[in-house]
Amino acid sequence: MEETDSDGARQTQDRINAYWNYRSETYDGDGGHAIQNEEKRPVWLNTLRGLLTPAPADVLDVGTGTGFLALLLAELGHRVTGVDLSEGMLTKARQKAARLGAAAVPSTFRVGDAVDPPLPPASVDVVISRHVLWTLHDPVRAIRNWRRLVRPGGRIIAIDGLWRLRTHQPTVPVPLPGAEATADTVKAPAPWRAAWNEHYGAVGSELPLFATEEIEPSMAAFRDAGFPDAQLSRLAEIERIEQESTPDRAPATPRFVISAQVHA
């Protein structure tokens, strides 16, 4: 999540922070945001193993939220720092880390701007994010700053999805097994939807990747940040397991990962 010197950008970020502080209480209750069953965990762990070098590595998780990536990476043996501007999200992340105890390498969670993380240059092997690109006010600036933090030979990894495609889908009826959908079985809007409309409805037009329906703008941000050879992969297994955990959100949101190598 982002913070800049201009008044307009600060106001935008204040709205974004307000939404995520509010959302922190229910965020992990959404099947697409948390590990809620044991079928989901190995899919994510295997995906992350394929994206990172073998543990241990020093990893910075920008826009960590409730610590989804940070805690999985710690479980794999990496040394992880998670930063976020939402105190509410960080509180949840710390609570989850405490419950893990000795089952994983301890993670550190601190307040920090995803666009300009508070770490020294060349201090980590990997900068990683999940579902962050779309909510950045200046994604090119963010990627340039991430590059500065990565040691030569390290990498930047951005996991995201084409969320705008899902907003075009009609409300999906959710009947009981074996029953036909009727007007009475249409799922009601989520309680957080009003807060979403209030905050992101006011700032969405200021976020370059907020409403994109294609992967290319995200790839262009990496190229503009100095990574002409950034690699793109579709996360088919992640799409499958996330769809299974939220079957009412048909069709599955396209998920992808962009990986960029940092050279000397």
The answer to whether residue 217 is domain-embedded is: yes
**Which residues are paired to 259 by β-bridges?**
157, 231
Tell me what pLDDT residue 250 has.
53
The answer to whether residue 2 is domain-embedded is: no
- C-beta of residue 87 within 8 angstroms of C-beta of residue 111: yes
For residue 260, pLDDT beyond 60: yes
**Number of domains into which the chain is organized:** 1
pLDDT above 90 covers what percent of the chain?
56
Name the residue among 97, 246, 242 with its Cα closest to residue 256.
242
One-letter identity of residue 140: V
Give the tens place of pLDDT for each residue, 84-142: 999 999 999 999 999 877 667 788 999 999 999 999 999 999 999 999 999 999 999 99
- Cα–Cα dist 253/241, whole Å: 11
Domain range enclosing 109: 7-261
User: Which of 4-8, 47-51, 164-168 bottoms out in mean pLDDT, i.e. has the lowest?
Assistant: 164-168
Question: Any residues with CB less than 8 A from the CB of 171 and at least 6 apart, and which?
Answer: 186, 187
Q: What is the pTM of this model?
A: 0.86
Sign of the Cα pseudo-torsion (110, 113, 114, 116, in order): negative
The answer to whether residue 257 is domain-embedded is: yes
Q: What is the mean pLDDT of residues 66-72?
A: 95
The answer to whether residue 115 is domain-embedded is: yes
- C-beta of residue 154 within 8 angstroms of C-beta of residue 143: no
- Cα–Cα dist 228/95, whole Å: 39
| Residue with the larger pLDDT of the pair 95 and 36 | 95
Radius of gyration of the chain (CA): 18
- C-beta of residue 127 within 8 angstroms of C-beta of residue 151: no
Tell me what pLDDT residue 165 has.
63
Within 13 Å, how many C-alpha atoms sit on residue 96's CB side? Answer: 25
pLDDT above 70 covers what percent of the chain?
81
Q: How far is CA 94 from the centre of its chain?
A: 17
Q: What is the mean pLDDT of residues 232-238?
A: 94
| Residue with the larger pLDDT of the pair 109 and 8 | 109
The answer to whether residue 1 is domain-embedded is: no
Q: What CATH number is given to the structural domain containing 97?
A: 3.40.50.150
| Residue with the larger pLDDT of the pair 248 and 62 | 62
- Cα–Cα dist 59/52, whole Å: 10
One-letter identity of residue 2: E
Preceding omega of 208 cis (within 30 degrees of 0): no
